[in-house]
Each structure stands twice: as C-alpha cells, then as structure tokens.
C-alpha cells in the first residue's frame, strides 16, 4: 500500500516536510575498528534494528566529509561572448576508477576544527587560484550511505576574482596537472544529461545550479546552513 507524504508549505512557498532525519535509537551492540588510515577507517559493527531482534553485522567505512564548489560567473563577468553563465572546472586523474574526470573544485574536511565554508574557500583557492566574495549552500549528499559515513556539501561561489601571484598554491602530484577551465553552465548540463560526466559532486552541483538559476537564485541557503552530517565521520 502506498503511503503519501503529507507536505506543509512554508511562508516562502517551499515544501519542507520531506526531509531526512538522524535516527539515534537503533542499538549499536558492538563496534570494532578493524583498519585505520589517514583518510578513512573500517569498523565492524553489530546493530540491533528493532528491540528483541538479533543484531546484524554491518561494515562501515568511516570517512572524512568533503566540500565542493560550483564557482559561477555570468553577464559582464563571464568570458562567454554572450555573457552566458559559466562554471570553473578542472580535469583530474582518479586512480581507483582509472579515469580522468571533469570535476568542480573539491576536497576533504581533514583540517581539525575548520568550518566547511572555510574549507571550500581554501580548496577553491588551492585548485584554481580564485577566491569568491559571495557564498551559498547548493546541496548535500552522502557518497554511498549503505557503507560509508562520507557526506559532502556543495557550495555556490560568486563574485570571483583571481588571487595575486604571492597567494597562489604550488600544486603537486595529480594536482600539478590541473588546468582551471571555464565551461558554459549549459554545456556542463548537457554533459551531465548525456552521461559524459561522472563525479558525483559535479553531477549534483551542475543540476542544482541549473535548478537554482531557473528559480532566479531565490531560496539559496546560507553557507553556514544546518547540515545532516554523520556523527561518525572522521
């Protein structure tokens, strides 16, 4: 039998009753850390899903959360002849999938105590040599909630400017290959819908930006908006 969601519309017209929630009531019977590294750890958990039931085994990859940035400019600040909206992208080799992927700037929340918006600004500067004066939240997601704690927040960065030479980061390893490239937002959207882009932050960031544009950029959340992060993330 179908169970419809009862929606309530707020004063600004946004339906807000459809929402994920933390559920701390499930009993964690035991947890053993079976492996640990600099980016993630692996826990072997026993969790009781319902009172009186036998616990079930779950393997959990405990991972740093991440941030990603859609850096956008349009109109007179765009490099496009028609002033079309464009976003900043880089192409990076990703060894686990043996592929070079077009991506928006991104990185891990692996600096103790660093606020996500600060980390996003740092990653934008390190990977592209740009800074932004205006920041908003676009979207969040869990990378693969069936087995890992990793979550990511995607920011929209606007009012961009190039960093002076003395504030730029020397990029190394895979990052030494980065060539920051301005791409028309509509071209990126076509690439997502055509199955030519595969990085999840990029796919969601492009779709969210395109949707925000259709709404006239109204209703964007602030950069420090609440975030349903996993309490177990590194």
64: which 2 tokens?
A: 């740093």
Handedness of CA 130, 133, 134, 135 (dihedral sign): positive
| Spatial separation of the C-alpha atoms in residues 45 and 55, rounded to whole Å | 9
As to burial, measured by CB atoms within 10 angstroms (0-12 exposed, 13-18 middle, 19+ buried), residue 47 is middle
Neighbours of 138 (CB within 10 A): 23
Active site residue 175: yes
Q: What is the sign, positive or negative, of the torsion defined by CA atoms of 199, 159, 216, 85?
A: negative
Q: Which of 103, 175, 177, 232 is catalytic?
A: 175
- The residues that are catalytic are 175
């Amino acid at each position: 039998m179908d169970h419809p969601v009862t929606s309530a519309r707020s004063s600004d017209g946004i339906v807000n009753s459809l929402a994920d929630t933390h559920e701390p009531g499930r009993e964690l019977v035991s947890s053993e850390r079976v492996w640990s590294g600099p980016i993630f750890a692996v826990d072997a958990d026993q969790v009781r899903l319902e009172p009186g039931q036998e616990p079930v085994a779950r393997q959990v990859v405990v991972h740093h959360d991440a941030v990603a940035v859609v850096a956008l400019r349009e109109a007179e600040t765009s490099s496009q002849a028609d002033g079309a909206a464009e976003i900043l992208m880089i192409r990076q080799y990703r060894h686990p999938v043996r592929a070079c992927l077009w991506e928006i700037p991104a990185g891990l929340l692996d600096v103790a105590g660093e606020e996500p918006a600060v980390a996003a600004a740092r990653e934008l500067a390190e990977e592209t040599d740009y800074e932004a004066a205006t920041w908003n939240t676009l979207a969040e997601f869990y990378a693969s909630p069936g087995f890992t704690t990793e979550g990511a927040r995607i920011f929209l960065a606007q009012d961009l400017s190039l960093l002076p030479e003395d504030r730029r980061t020397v990029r190394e390893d895979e990052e030494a290959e980065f060539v920051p490239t301005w791409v028309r937002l509509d071209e990126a959207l076509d690439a997502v819908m055509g199955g030519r882009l595969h990085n999840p932050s990029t796919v969601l960031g492009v779709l969210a930006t395109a949707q925000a544009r259709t709404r006239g950029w109204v209703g964007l959340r602030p950069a420090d908006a609440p975030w349903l992060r996993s309490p177990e993330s590194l």
